Amino acid sequence: MSSVTKSPPAVIRCQTCGKEIPLGADSCPACGRHHSESSPRLTLAILLILIFAGFAFTQYVVRLHRATEASLAKRWFNRGNQDMQANLPSLAAEDYRTALSYDRENRQYTLSLAEALLAANRMNEARSHLTSLWEEEPASGEVNLALARLHVRRGDRARAIGYYNNAINGVWDEQPRQQRIAARFELVRYLMQQHDLAEAQAELMALQADGPPDPSDQLLLGQMLLQANDPKRAIDAYDIVLRNDPRNADAWLGKGLAALQIGDYLAAERALATALEHDPNSEQARQQLDLVREVLRIGPAFRGLSLAERTQRVAEAFSAALKRLTGCAAQQGYSLAAPNTAKAGARASAAKTMSLPTVEATTPAPSNLQQLYSSGVQKQASATDAALRRNPDALEPTMQYVFEVERTAASICPTMDLTDRALLTLAQNESETVK
């Protein structure tokens, strides 16, 4: 059986004259030109090198272009940040928009643009950008916080609170715990602005349970608990700060104010004195310490006081309350005595007996002031030191009258002296009244 026929060898021709070159020959027999079988391969290799070099050059040019655009975008972004710091949100928005024209996929630039538009009160534009960002990444803490601020500005309480909660529970790229704590503090401030103390206290309790690691956050927590009328928990927050920094004057001041708010005047005095010791320039600590010491001086309900001391303090408080009442009326131009009546003459005579200031104004006083003044004139004889010693049962109703005067006068005449401030403080903590 015959073998498979082999194909004839390829004919090689000279590239110059076209004549056939014998197999194995190095040159053309017709024109004598040197011939090499590697020439086509060399040509192919050169072509490939040129192609790869062109591709690499193109990539280099593209990368250079992108780097230039990124650099320009960053420059405009930084310029926008500077305009925001200068409180120029409209200019900042244009800067961020320019940055986005160079880097269209940058979410941070888009978010900053939305925040600038929000600050410039361009609500619809800001909402459009933020909604787009939220649809792409609904769990983003930054985007949800910006949407919360947007709805605060729009007056939509329910959505604002919802987005605040989303931000608190959302995803943060950097310092997530610190960012969530800051978002919750912002929510608390908003709730307090809405006069929703119950919800604010609940959020502050959640913050306290989380235990902010930063001492400044603990200090802020104590201050906000005080503002939310939760002084006992405020003291706990201040104690955490003081365990790590016993010389922190702000924490001592806050603890003193909290103790004052719950009526623990001795603890308040110790804390405020310590605050003043660590910060002698604190005018607030000095004023509050003076107030507490005046409370301790004039308050009749403290343990260990004898009957003589209690009656003396109640008599002094009654006299101060009547002076406060007539002084407030004079300051506002009110007349406490009803003209052309026999009772008016009797009240004027009693006022002279008590050395009270004469009110020469003709404008009738509000009925509550008139009634308190009349009641005070009637109680004057039974509210002296001697009369109170003879009748200790009159101590409590006399102090209740003093408290009512101080509360009423405070709403009409906010300016008062130290003694009246002390009496008003006692009035706000009726657990300290005479029993």
CA within 13 Å, CB half, 189: 12
Least Cα distance to 354 among 337, 386, 329, 378 occurs for 378
Residue-level pLDDT at 68: 72
At 188, phi and psi to the nearest 5?
-60, -45
Contacts of 133 (CB under 8 A, 6+ apart): 107, 110, 111, 114, 140, 143
pTM of the model: 0.73
pLDDT in tens, the chain (435 residues): 444 555 555 556 666 665 666 655 556 666 656 555 556 666 777 777 878 777 777 776 666 656 676 777 788 878 888 888 888 888 888 888 888 788 777 888 888 888 898 888 888 999 988 999 999 899 999 999 999 999 999 999 999 999 999 999 999 988 999 999 999 999 999 999 999 999 999 999 999 998 888 999 999 999 999 999 999 999 999 999 999 999 999 999 999 999 999 999 999 999 999 999 999 999 999 999 999 999 999 999 899 999 999 999 999 999 999 999 999 988 888 888 654 443 444 444 444 444 444 444 457 778 888 899 999 999 999 999 999 999 999 999 999 999 999 999 998 999 999 999 999 999 988 744 444
Question: What is the dihedral sign for C-alpha 411, 414, 417, 422?
Answer: positive
Residue by residue, DSSP assigns 272-305 as: HHHHHHH-TT-HHHHHHHHHHHHHHHH-S--TT-
Residue-level pLDDT at 354: 46
Dihedral of the CA atoms 402, 406, 408, 410 (nearest 10)? 180
On whether the CB atoms of residues 427 and 407 are closer than 8 A, the answer is: yes
Residue-level pLDDT at 424: 95
On whether the CB atoms of residues 426 and 433 are closer than 8 A, the answer is: yes
Contacts of 99 (CB under 8 A, 6+ apart): 72, 73, 74, 76, 77, 80, 106, 109
> Which residue spans within 220-269 are E strands per DSSP?
none
Residue-level pLDDT at 237: 95
Element spanning 12, H or E? strand 12-13
For 45, 53, 197, 330, the CA distances from 59, given in Å and listed in that order, are: 21, 10, 61, 87
- C-alpha to C-alpha distance for 66 and 335, rounded to whole angstroms: 82
